[in-house]
Amino acid sequence: MTTEFLGLRLAHPIVNASGTFDAIAARRAFGDALLARFPFAAFVSKTVTLEPRQGNPPPRLWELAGGMINSIGLPNKGLAGYLEHDLPQLAELPVPLIVNVMGFSREQVAELVRAFGERDEVAALELNVSCPNVKTGMVMGADPGETAALLDAVRPLTAKPLIVKLTPNCSSPGDVAAAAAEHGADAVSLVNTLRGMAFHPRRLGVPWLGGGTGGVSGPAVRAVALAQVAEVRARVAIPIVGMGGLQSGRHAQDLMQAGADVVAVGTESFRDPLAGRRVATELCEIRANSGIVRLPGADGREPIAHNA
Ligand code: SIN
């Protein structure tokens, strides 16, 4: 079930949502077995900012009946730390690397795009203009004019594909997607998390999350994701990476029928680190049974090959 995406030949259409699978920690835990059975057809990194960040104060997570709220706040080593420590390790993964970046100004995003644009290890960049857990990151992604201005600033800086990660927390994701496409984005990804909050279970009126509010993800947002992917597909012709609460091949198929070309597994990977591989296999079975593609193996479970 190979998939062409931004000039990359992916073994299947399942990638990870940024920040939901720590490939470096997983490699430490599982060794090279992880590389042999890597769950995703491309790896999207956790967001990198120009300077190192500690992230938001704890608590950072709240479990919901249908998922969770995170208020992580983009902790990361910063550009220099990432280039020195993380990039060499992520370059060893058996799949293309997509680096997710976020800046607090256009100039910061430009610096990140310029730096990663020069690196052969990086196949594409995802611009995170949609994090609900930091102050200015989302402004660029909530307004079509701001998104257009950001693309105008960074598009000339690299020939690498640029994916714009859209926020669901705006009045019209379709308008923002159209602005991104018109100003040079190669793809859009959606949905990032929906802003939400929870109160402390024992202290009335006190927010639970250290950051006050956070981003809701998991099955609770799946219907929203489907509607927004369909809305964006009606507005743009560029590829869409669809995500939001998917847990199975059927959910992936639904997102693709709504208009996604590639789909990302997010929160489900916290429950099942191999969810990406399972979803790919289930999707393959669904498509084979509906005559969309032929099964790669007798029972469809093996082999889903990965890029070497
Ligand atoms: C976070 O680190 O706060 C989550 C990332 C995001 O929502 O973009």
- Distance from the alpha carbon of residue 293 to the mean position of ligand 1, in angstroms: 35
Give nearest CA residue, ligand 1 atom 7.
131
Read off the pLDDT band of 307 (50, 70, 90).
very low
Read off the pLDDT band of 303 (50, 70, 90).
very low
Residue among 62, 189, 193 whose CB has most ligand 1 atoms within 8 A, to mutate: 193
In this structure, which amino acid lies at residue 284? C
Residue whose structure tokens are 């991104």: 180
Residue 297 has pLDDT above 50, yes or no: no
pLDDT digit string (tens) for 92-105? 999 999 999 999 99
Contacts of 104 by beta carbon, 8 Å cutoff, 6+ apart: 49, 134, 135, 136, 137
- Distance from the alpha carbon of residue 302 to the mean position of ligand 1, in angstroms: 34
pLDDT digit string (tens) for 127-168? 999 888 886 656 789 999 999 999 999 999 999 999 999 999
Residue 298 has pLDDT above 90, yes or no: no
| 131 catalytically annotated | yes
**Residues 244, 7, 46: CA angle, nearest 5 degrees:** 40
Mean pLDDT of 220-226: 98
Nearest-10 Cα torsion for 79, 84, 87, 93: -160
Q: Lowest mean pLDDT: which of 89-93, 233-237, 285-289?
A: 285-289
Read off the pLDDT band of 40 (50, 70, 90).
very high
Ligand 1 neighbour 73 (Cβ under 6 A): yes
Structure tokens at 201: 């279970």
Whole-number average pLDDT of the chain: 93
**32 DSSP 8-state letter:** T
> Of residues 99, 131, 177, 185, which has the active-site annotation?
131
Residue 133: predicted pLDDT? 81
Ligand 1 neighbour 266 (Cβ under 6 A): no
In this structure, which amino acid lies at residue 261? D
pLDDT digit string (tens) for 284-294? 999 999 876 64
- Distance from the alpha carbon of residue 52 to the mean position of ligand 1, in angstroms: 15
**Residues 37, 14, 308: CA angle, nearest 5 degrees:** 45
Structural contact between residues 173 and 190, judged by C-beta atoms closer than 8 angstroms? yes
Mean pLDDT of 54-83: 97
Residue 295: predicted pLDDT? 45
Give nearest CA residue, ligand 1 atom 6.
131
Index of the ligand 1 atom closest to the CA of residue 133: 3
Residue among 48, 68, 74 whose CB has most ligand 1 atoms within 8 A, to mutate: 74
Ligand 1 neighbour 189 (Cβ under 6 A): no
- Distance from the alpha carbon of residue 111 to the mean position of ligand 1, in angstroms: 20
**Residues 129, 167, 14: CA angle, nearest 5 degrees:** 95
